[in-house]
A and B are shown apart, each in its own frame.
Chain A
Amino acid sequence: MQTSEVKSKFESILNEQEDVSTGIAAIMTLMEVLKHYNSITIQGLIEELKVAMEAMKDTNYSAAAITSGCELFRRFITLGTMDYHTFDECKEIMLKRGNLFLKKLKEAKGKVMKLGSQFIIDGSKILTHSRSRVVLHTLREAAKQNRYFEVFVTKSQPDDSGIRMCKDLTELNIPCTLILDSAIGYVMEEVDFVMVGAEAVVESGGIVNKIGSYTMAVCAKAMNKPFYVLAESFKFSRVFPLNQSDLPDEYKYSPEMRKRDLSKEHPLVDYTPPALITLLFTDLGILTPSAVSDELIKLYL
């Protein structure tokens, strides 16, 4: 498959299927690549997948999510290829398992929702940042269970995704208030806890998420409010950032921006260290940040 084909495939998946998150879309695209691959070596396949991944990263979607999804898929491929006689046979098996894998990943959101919604009790006030599908669905799930609660959503500069989040919540009849990014400190005293999504969960147990999440976490810590993260396991990523500037540029800036002078550009994501996170709700269960790094180490050992 050509790079441009990969790109358009990837973008069309994301455009057509509203409910699919970036990571899953990336894996679905790789499945396509696998399907259309017609050379006969594993090495070649891996190369091709790498190229496809680079191509996807060149789009305007979150590079962090794409990387973690693709890495996981590649890991799965290498673990999967063992002793089959012909490459076709091997490919057959891979495709079958790939689909199974995708199915499991898609179930992940349901599990996260179930775990997350039980922490939302009647009368709670929740602060969230930007727009995260899994947070939205968790809130919807809690509202379905007839709980009443209130949500504060940050406007989330620069793409103002919070406005859309707020609109979605209003449609679900969940009382919500849009606040300025700079008002996080102001509302923190009245919220009961913070609940955010993540673009990637890194090896330290921290998260990479929309810019402003770190501010929110620091604020929550200062006021002793729990900071909960909802993240499916395909967002687990093999990076270990030491500080903000240590984050890879491709995570922080869109391909457009990377062409320009980076010191003049605003980063799109920031890194929230594990010490500020209370709990992570994943499809593997409710984990403390230290348990997350354990999971990752086990995987890539």
Chain B
Amino acid sequence: MLETELVDVINLISDIRHGKVYTSYDVAIHTEQLIEKLISEGQWNTAEDLMVLIKARINRIMSALPQESTPVNIMRHILKIIRELYDTGFKYKSEGQQSLHHLITSNVDNAEDYSKPLPSLRSSLLDHLAEYKTGLELSTDNIATQALEHIHADEIILTVGKSNTVEKFLKHAAEKRKFQVIVVEAAPLYHGHEMAINLTKSNIQTTVIPDSAVFAMMSRVNKVIIGTHTVMANGGLRAACGVHMVALAAKRYSVPIMVLAHMYKLSPLHLCYEQDAFNICASPADVLPYSSGPIINKVHVYNPVFDYVPPDLVTLFISHQGGNAPSYVYRLLSELYDPNDNEI
């Protein structure tokens, strides 16, 4: 694939790297727009052509931003939509999944053939995308509306750092009920401070604690509610650094942990035990300033961005469809993605 044909995705990558597109919601919206443009204006005739185009983009993003799973997840989902529309368009039975049942019953060697042109594909895809986009836009609100099911009066909720979804969730609950929030400040970025300020503006009683006080506070906490960067295929989390510690403390005191996750955060990939490459280390300046003198010559300073939280520490995922246990993530994944697209 020539570089010039990938300009759209290259620009998206560049924007993400430059920090122009920052939150995962922005990334999601931009990815959706990119795909929409590709479908409406791109040069393709058959479903296969389109899938090749999208896969090239997925590859590009995966190699340039391996830690950024949102755009890849959305594109994978769109691949699945294409497959489904194609299959229904040709009245194939849409047995998308690669199941044992499928393995036995399938008549022919299911060589995927998406090369027949389907004139209605473009318009029906765009319809689906429009639907998907509204889904995206409403996702945060849909999650927030479930707040009253989970937050009860006079409870103490603990959260870590800042997450727009969590903020909205708490604010929604605060409209009806009175409860207390403990915000872990999340060193070294201290986004927790910002979160606390935003919460107090909505008249939520908020306490900020340092990361080191999590264990001490946990005994009086009723629920931990956090956001995440990605949900891995086994139900584990790639979340902000420090969440693992909070999850362990919660486990110790049997406090339930709710993870608010949009569907586009679900990734069909597993953690290949390569914790080092899975993570990313930011500049050490937040931990030890450059002006610290000769000590800089002698030490290695690590400032990891993410934490891996194993699935057995998570109680519940809350997506716009409702709550799901980590062991159920595989079902959500099989609804979202086609197994043939897991490896591209």
Residue ranges of A at the interface with B (Cβ–Cβ < 8 Å): 72, 75-76, 79, 97, 100-101, 104, 118-119, 121, 124, 192-193, 226, 233, 236, 278-279, 284-288, 290-291, 294-296, 298-299
A294 to B342, CA, bound (A): 19
Interface stretch (choices B25-33, B170-178, B270-278):
B270-278
Query: Of B99, B105, B270, which one neighbours A79 at CB under 8 angstroms?
Result: B105
Residue among A76, A121, A279, A291 having the largest count of chain B Cβ atoms under 10 Å: A291
Interface residues in B314-344 by Cβ distance below 8 A to A read: 327-328, 330-331, 339, 342
Tell me whether A118 and B100 are in contact (CB under 8 A): no
Tell which of B98, B99, B100, B101 has the most Cβ of chain A within 10 Å: B100
- 29 sampled A-B residue pairs with Cβ under 8 A: A75-B104, A76-B104, A79-B105, A101-B103, A101-B104, A118-B272, A119-B270, A119-B272, A119-B273, A121-B273, A124-B273, A192-B273, A233-B103, A279-B234, A284-B98, A284-B99, A285-B98, A285-B339, A286-B270, A287-B330, A288-B234, A290-B327, A294-B330, A295-B99, A295-B101, A296-B100, A298-B101, A299-B101, A299-B104
Residues of B within 8 A of A298 (CB): 99-101
* Interface residue from B100, B109, B234, B272 paired with A284 (Cβ < 8 Å): B100
Interface residues of B in 221-270 (CB under 8 A from A): 233-235, 270
Q: Considering the chains assembled together, what is the distance between the CA atoms of A145 and B234 in angstroms?
A: 25
Taking the closest CB of chain B, its distance from the CB of A299, in whole angstroms, is 5
Which residues of chain A have C-beta atoms less than 8 A from B101's C-beta?
Answer: 295, 298-299
Indicate the member of B99, B103, B327, B342 with the most A CB atoms within 10 Å.
B103
B99–A299 CB distance below 8 A: yes
Chain B: interface residue count, which band? 20 to 34
10 additional A-B residue pairs with CB within 8 Å, beyond A119-B273, A295-B101: A79-B104, A100-B109, A119-B270, A121-B274, A124-B273, A278-B234, A279-B234, A290-B327, A291-B330, A294-B330
Neighbouring B residues of A124 by C-beta, 8 Å? 273
Contact B100 A233, beta carbon cutoff 8 Å: yes
Q: Is the CB of B233 within 8 A of A286?
A: yes
A288/B330 in contact, CB under 8 A: yes
Which residue from chain B places its CB closest to the CB of A193 in the assembled complex?
Answer: B273
B274 partner residues in chain A, CB cutoff 8 A: 121
Contacting residues, chain B, for A236 (C-beta < 8 A):
100
- Give the residues in chain A near B98, CB-CB below 8 Å: 284-285
* B330: A residues at CB distance < 8 A: 287-288, 290-291, 294
Are A226 and B273 in touch, CB under 8 angstroms? yes
Residues in chain A near residue B103, CB distance under 8 A: 101, 104, 233, 284
Distance of A121 Cα from B234 Cα, bound (Å): 19
Using known A-B contacts A118-B272, A279-B234, determine if residue A285 contacts B342 with beta carbons closer than 8 Å: yes
Residues of B within 8 A of A193 (CB): 273
- Which residues of chain A are within 8 angstroms of B273 by Cβ–Cβ distance? 119, 121, 124, 192-193, 226
Contact partners of A100 in chain B: CB under 8 A: 109
Interface pair A72/B104, CB less than 8 Å apart: yes
- Set of chain B residues within 8 Å of A97, measured between Cβ atoms: 107
**Shortest Cβ gap from A254 to chain B (Å):** 29
The residue in chain A whose Cβ has the minimal distance to the Cβ of B98 is A284
Closest Cβ–Cβ distance, residue A301 to chain B (whole Å):
8
Q: Do the beta carbons of B100 and A295 come within 8 Å of each other?
A: yes
Closest A residue to B108 using CB positions: A100
Closest to B329 in A: A288
What residues of A have a CB within 8 angstroms of the CB of B104 in the complex? Answer: 72, 75-76, 79, 101, 299
For the complex of A and B, the 5 pairs showing the least CB-CB separation, nearest first, are A291-B330, A290-B327, A299-B100, A299-B101, A76-B104
| Complexed CA–CA distance, A296 and B104 (Å) | 12
Question: In the complex, how many angstroms separate the beta carbon of A195 from the nearest chain B beta carbon?
Answer: 11
* CB of A217, distance to nearest CB on chain B (Å): 15
Residues of chain A within 8 A (CB-CB) of B234 are 278-279, 288
Interface residues of B in 91-140 (CB under 8 A from A): 98-101, 103-105, 107, 109
